[in-house]
Every structure is written in C-alpha cells, then in structure tokens.
Structure 1
Amino acid sequence: MDKIKIGSVGLGRLGLRHAENLASKIMGAQLIALCDVDDRKLNDTADRLGVAHRFSDFEAMLKLPELDAVLIASPSALHTGQISSALAAGKHVFTEKPLGVTVEECKAAEKAVEKYPDRVFMIGFMRRFDDSYMYAHEKVISGQIGRPILFRSYSQDPEKFIDGAIAFAPHSGGEFLDMAVHDIDLARWFLQDEPESVYAIGGCYAHPEFAQYKDGDNVSCLMKFRNEAMAFLFAGRTAPHGYNVETEIIGTKGTLRIASVPQKNLVEVLDSHGVRRECSENFLERFSASYVNEVQEFVDSIRYRRKPAVTVYDGTKVSEIAYRCKEAFERGTMLRF
C-alpha cells in the first residue's frame, strides 16, 4: 500500500514535534510538505527533515497534486478556515485542538466535515492515546471498577514557563479552554456522558496579569454529569516542581490512579538534596508517545478506510463545556448546560 503523503502547517513547539514524528516515526506516512510564515524556521526544518516542498501560504500547499492529507498545528484562530479549505481541496485532515476559538467556529467546522463524509477527519486529544490512559479506560469500560462515580484530573504547567502563558493570555480563550480541554475530554471519555451543571472558582494567586482577561493563574470546577457522576478538574500555571498531569477515577468497586506521583521515568536520584524522582519538563516530554500514537491512528484510518474514534463533535462539545466553565468562573455561580 502506498504511503499517505502529508503536508504539515505550523512549526511552533507542537507543530515541530509533529513534523519530526511524521518524518521518521509514523508508519505508512511520508512528510512531503511544510508550511510556516517564518521562512528561516521553515527552511531550517525542511532541510533537517529532508522535505522538498516548502510553503509560506497554506492555500498554495493545498494545490500540491500529490498531497493526500494535512496536519494542522497553526495558531488556533486559523484552524477552522484551514480545516474547511483542506477538506474542500480533497485532503484528509488532522487538526490540533482547539477545533475553533469560538463555539460558532466549531459548528462551522462540523458543517465542513459533514459536507465531505469521504474524508478522514481527526482532532488531537492526545491523552486518549497515552498507554496508561488507554489501559485505565479499558478497565472502566469493562466494568472492573464498577460504576464510575468521580473523575478527578489535575493539569499543571511549570511556573518557569509563566512568561509564555502571560504573553498568550490575550488569545488563549482562558485557562479552561487553553489547558482544561484535555481534562474535559477525558471526563467525557471515562464517564461516557455529558455534564449537566458546573460550578467554577479560582483566581490570580501569583500573577495578577491574568485578571484583565477575566482569567486566573489557577482555576477549578466541579461538574455533575447527567448520569449523576461527579467530575473535579484543576488547571494551574504555577507548579514549582514541573509539568504535572494526574487523574483519578473512583468507582463503586475500585479506584484507578494515573500518574498520581508525577515523574519523567522510573529513576530515583540520590544526592546531597536527598532522594527524589524528577518530573517531566513539559507536555511534549510527558506525552511524547501519545503524539506518535494519535497521528498513527489518523494515518491508519486513511489507509484502511475507517473513521477515527475522536470526532469533530468531540471538539465542539469540549469547547462548549470549556466556555461554560469559564462563564461559571466569571459569574461565580453554578450554571446548567
């Protein structure tokens, strides 16, 4: 079977990682084109990865005759338009989150995907493709912990990266949309239902700069799902110890915990500071295998003519929930969905 020829747009931190994975780690795929507005970064990356076709304009890349699919890792505000253009050009599409920066944009993306049912479309909720999360999900779905009654998830970014978070704050959509979307997606995935109410709190405990955007540096929410399960989510930007993602699912017959002690590997360090386990630096390190697995699923779906389990509707639903959480945070009251 011929390899799926892919063009990737956006060479930020995650876009660069996707390009590197496509060039060497995704079976059945061939990275044939790169697109970015930074000419120097574009050419340096293309030279290093051996990619011949280089574009500063996404629409121009879509005209490449041999192109089968695109991977979108561009700025969030461009996602919906690029999704529509790529599908209309006959390309399969993998896009990073968010699907759109507003719910209206997400709905527009839905219509574009529905218009071209023969195309494979997938959105990048990478935690679903982490080995530990997949293992835990199988246990939940098979009933091994009984009826799930509480989903708890924490996502914390290191304090040392706070300057980047502050710079991105005007365009992030708020901490619930920027950070907690993965926790929201996992809650829906594990609990197999949708929330019916949410109460959110938080604040600017260390960095008042976020207040002007009606956002916080640490926020949380409590949701009740329609099946009566509870979900507690926490998103923070000030972790002193490193990148930290941990999850717990409590059921009537058992409990599952994923990364309850954040650590980059199984090594223990014994030195003048005592005995310790080191923490992952960032999301690229913690979920490095997940980023490979999710794009592999996208490519395999094209090759074997199947639809991925993660759909455009998941992207819309998560955005709707995130914005409702943000509204509850701003208003300081419980809201229903």
Structure 2
Amino acid sequence: MKKVKVGIVGLGRLGMRHANNLMFQIPNAALVAACSVRPEEAAFVKDNWGVPSVYTDFDQFLTNMEMEAVVIVSPSGQHCEQIGKAMARGLHVFSEKPLGVDVPQCKQAEQAVEAHPELVFQLGFMRRFDPSYAAAKQMIREGKIGKPFLVKCTSLDPDSRIDSFLPFAPTSGGIFRDLTVHDIDLARWLLESDVKKITAAGGCYKYQELADCGDVDNAVALMEFKNGTVALFDSGRIAPHGSHVETEIQGTEGILRIAVVPEKNRVLIYDHTGAVQQCTEDFLERWREAFLNEMIEFINCVSEGRKPEVTVYDGTKCTEATYAATEALRAGKTVELK
C-alpha cells in the first residue's frame, strides 16, 4: 500500500490527536515530519514515536522534501500564511479551523488554493464527519423530514476547562469565532444556504474578566439564511456537567435531534444521588471519531486525486458570519451580510 507522507505543524492537545491518528490509526498515511515551537513537544514525537524529522521553525520544516502533505494545527492567526507557503511548496494541505482570524486572511487563503487546483485543500470542520451528523445529513437528503427550515444548536464548553481558556481569551476572536463557528458550518451544511442577517445577545454571567477582551461567557444568535430558513445558536463556556453539543433540525415532515444528552457511554449509574448518566468531559473525547474520520478523508482525497466536500470557501463564509454575529452582539442590532 502506498502511503501519503505527511508532516504536521502544531503539537498541542488537538495537534497531538491528529498526529496520533496519522501515526497509528490510518494505514495509508505516514507521519514523516513534525514542527512545534516547543522543543519538548517535537522531541516527544521523535523519541517516543520515531517521527524521523522534527523542527521548531516552520520555514525549515517546509524544506523537508519527503513530505507530500501538511496538517496545520498552529495558532489561528498563522493558518493562512502557512497555507500559502505550504501550497507554494507543492504540498496538499489540511488546516484546522478557523481558516483565518479575519476576512482578508481568508481571501488570502482562497487565492492560495485557487492558484493550485492540482492540490487538495481541506478545512477542519470535523462535526460533518461525526457518524450521527453524517447520518442526519443523509436522512435530510433522502427527504426523511421533508424540507428542513430550522436548526437549533447548543455548544457548551465545560466550566472545568475555563482556566486553560482564559489566557488565550484575548486572541480567541470571541465566542462566536472560537466556539460557534462549528455550529454555523453545520447550519450552512444542513440548510444548504448562506447567512443573510444576524441578531445576537449575551454577557459575562460568571467570568467578568472576559469583558476586558470584548468577549462573553454565554451568547445566543439568531440567523436568517438566504433561502428563508433559520438557525438559533446557544453558545457558552460554563457548563457544569461537561462538554455539551446538541443539535435539532426541524423539517416540514419531521424532526431530528442529535446528542440531547452528551453521554460518555451507555452506562447508567444508580447511587445515592439517583440515576446518573456520565457526560463527555471535553471536545477531544466527544469528537474522537470525527477527528479520525476527517483525517481519513483528507488522506484518501490525496491518494485518489479528488477534492473534499469541505472547502476553503466554507471557511470564509463562516468567518464572515462570526464577524457579523460579534458586531450584532456588541452593537445590539441586526447585522445584514453583504
């Protein structure tokens, strides 16, 4: 079996998950290089996994002529520049979300992808690759619920992880860009339309320090799409029970609900507190299959010479929507997208 030779940049929590999948879970992939600004992370994959080439500088990383593809899991503000450099070097690219931290950056990435139609580019909207969401999309295609007209999304990060988030809050881009962006992509995908206008509200109900960087700990947004459909987004950072992502799709002939209870497994515990269902603790646990499935798709697209469904333009559209939602939240008005 011919293996796609891949390098990865960024070895934080998510980067290590992708690296692990490439190294141990995908038979037609070979992790041949890794790059991290933290020397100890690069040393770990070299010493423990046998990754042959490691770097602490991205430009030096790109001089590795063995790589055919690169997986970008670096800080958000570096994505677009690295996408451009990697594609100019002739590498297929998988980039984590967000595509860019602003729309001009996204346009820069679009130009890089358009300049290299021979290369594969895939953006990391992994929820499309979760088995439950993929099944829901197929049911919609088959007309099981008639015409979908309303999507309701809840995305709640666990309060137990807030201490690890707060240092990055000033550069996260705000709750809509950092958290809701996945739900916006889901709504666009499920409703098959782009956002027309947005109304939003929210506040700092527990962590007032987020206000210092123009962010909130909980927010809601109502979005109307160009085809007349609607989506409602509920996003928060203080869930007491764990990582909670729930979606409802209403159609003219039926309703689909996904992950109403964010169950960790099928075990129900009966004790002095009552009947208890354990919940997923963080996003890595909840989206384990999705992260693997999206990387399998990327590697297969490279091997088979085809393009993935998730495109660079999906990234731009979602970034535009998150900017509009942030403006609507701060200004207390409805914002219409051009």
Structure 1 residue runs of 4 or more that deviate by more than 3 Å after TM superposition: none
- C-alpha distance after superposition, 1:201-227 (max 9, x if no partner): 000001111112222100110011111
Deviation at 1:162, TM superposition (A): 1.1
Deviation at 1:267, TM superposition (A): 1.0
1:288 aligns with 2:288: yes
Deviation at 1:151, TM superposition (A): 0.2
- C-alpha distance after superposition, 1:132-178 (max 9, x if no partner): 00000011122110111110001001111112222111100000000
Partner of 1:112: 112
Deviation at 1:272, TM superposition (A): 2.5
Task: Give the whole-Å Cα distance in 2 for the aligned partners of 1:45 and 1:283.
Answer: 22
SS at match of 1:176: helix
Structural mapping, 1:19-168, within 5 Å: 19-168=19-168
Partner of 1:298: 298
Partner of 1:309: 309
Partner of 1:7: 7
SS at match of 2:262: coil
Task: Give the whole-Å Cα distance in 2 for the aligned partners of 1:150 and 1:49.
Answer: 46
Structural mapping, 1:220-299, within 5 Å: 220-299=220-299
Partner of 2:333: 333
Q: How many residues align?
A: 337
Task: Give the whole-Å Cα distance in 2 for the aligned partners of 1:88 and 1:332.
Answer: 42
Task: Give the whole-Å Cα distance in 2 for the aligned partners of 1:58 and 1:9.
Answer: 7
- C-alpha distance after superposition, 1:298-330 (max 9, x if no partner): 000010000000000001100000110000000
Task: Give the whole-Å Cα distance in 2 for the aligned partners of 1:169 and 1:299.
Answer: 33
Task: Give the whole-Å Cα distance in 2 for the aligned partners of 1:185 and 1:267.
Answer: 31
Moved more, 36-45 or 70-79: 36-45
- C-alpha distance after superposition, 1:55-95 (max 9, x if no partner): 11111111111110000001111111110010000100000
- Among all aligned residue pairs of Structure 1 and Structure 2, give the percentage whose two residues are the same amino acid: 49
- C-alpha distance after superposition, 1:257-313 (max 9, x if no partner): 000111111111122222111000101000001101001000000100000000000
Deviation at 1:46, TM superposition (A): 2.3
Moved more, 41-50 or 311-320: 41-50
Amino acid at match of 2:218: N
Partner of 1:184: 184
- Listed as ranges, the gaps of 5+ residues in structure 2 are none
Task: Give the whole-Å Cα distance in 2 for the aligned partners of 1:179 and 1:276.
Answer: 27
Instruction: Give the superposed CA RMSD.
Output: 0.9
Deviation at 1:37, TM superposition (A): 1.1
Moved more, 129-138 or 209-218: 209-218
Deviation at 1:194, TM superposition (A): 1.0
Amino acid at match of 1:106: C
Moved more, 267-276 or 110-119: 267-276
- Listed as ranges, the gaps of 5+ residues in structure 1 are none
1:175 aligns with 2:144: no
Task: Give the whole-Å Cα distance in 2 for the aligned partners of 1:178 and 1:164.
Answer: 14
Q: Is the 8 A contact 1:62 1:86 kept in 2?
A: yes
Q: Is the 8 A contact 1:20 1:49 kept in 2?
A: no
Task: Give the whole-Å Cα distance in 1 for the aligned partners of 2:87 and 2:162.
Answer: 36
Task: Give the whole-Å Cα distance in 2 for the aligned partners of 1:296 and 1:38.
Answer: 27
Amino acid at match of 1:237: R
Amino acid at match of 1:165: F
SS at match of 2:279: coil
Task: Give the whole-Å Cα distance in 2 for the aligned partners of 1:75 and 1:235.
Answer: 22
